[in-house]
Amino acid sequence: MVVLLGPSREAISGVTTHLNGLIGSRLATRFDLVHFQVGSEGRGESLPGRIARVAASPLQLAAALVRSGADILHINTSLDANAYWRDLAYLLVAKLCGARVLYQVHGGQLDTFAAKRGFFARFVDASLRLADAVVVLSRAQLDAFRARLPGHPVEVVPNGVDCAAYTRYNRAAPERF
């Protein structure tokens, strides 16, 4: 079983599109794919409700991983402070529960988020090494992550969008007079 972390499946976002694509793909015929919602999308919660969710969510993930016997946790994240700290908690929970972790970065630049030098940069690099593999979306990100995490499995998987529905909009620009 693979647990997929991400926003509500009804949210409008690139990560939601990615999750729905995975769940609707042939992978779902080979693996049990289960969504675990993170973030506030679609929740309409108060500040106390948000605080309670943020505090309880890692424990709920631990229970879900243990109960399901999940082999893999697929974290879909971005390199911004809120997502990084939230997903670091999920990463640690997964490792403590014996699950392997695929850490997929959907946005943000590693060297902007954590400069190449200094304590925070070393901390981020060490935390990324806790993941069994890291996936990024572009060749530039691949080069940056491989430079920072030499020898660690880092791969690029570009965002995939079926453009067939949009071909009628893909016309040559009209000539200018």
pLDDT digits (tens, 9 = 90+) for 148-164: 999 999 999 987 666 56
Query: What integer pLDDT is reported at residue 109 of this predicted model?
Result: 93
Helix (H) or strand (E) holding 156: strand 154-156
- Residues 5, 75: contact at Cβ < 8 Å? yes
Nearest to 159 by CA among 113, 112, 104, 109: 104
Predicted TM-score of the model (pTM): 0.85
Structure tokens at 86: 């939230």
Query: What is the pLDDT, as a whole number, of residue 167?
Result: 62
**What is the structure's pLDDT at 177?**
39
Would you tell me which CATH number, out of the four given (3.90.1150.10, 3.40.50.11930, 1.10.10.10, 2.60.40.1760), belongs to the domain 2-169?
Answer: 3.40.50.11930
Q: How does DSSP classify residue 165?
A: G
The ranges of the chain with pLDDT < 70 are 41-43, 160-177
Q: Using one digit for the tens of pLDDT, what is the confidence trace for 49-82?
A: 888 888 999 999 999 999 999 999 999 999 999 8
Residue 96: its H or E element: helix 81-96
- Count of residues for the chain? 177
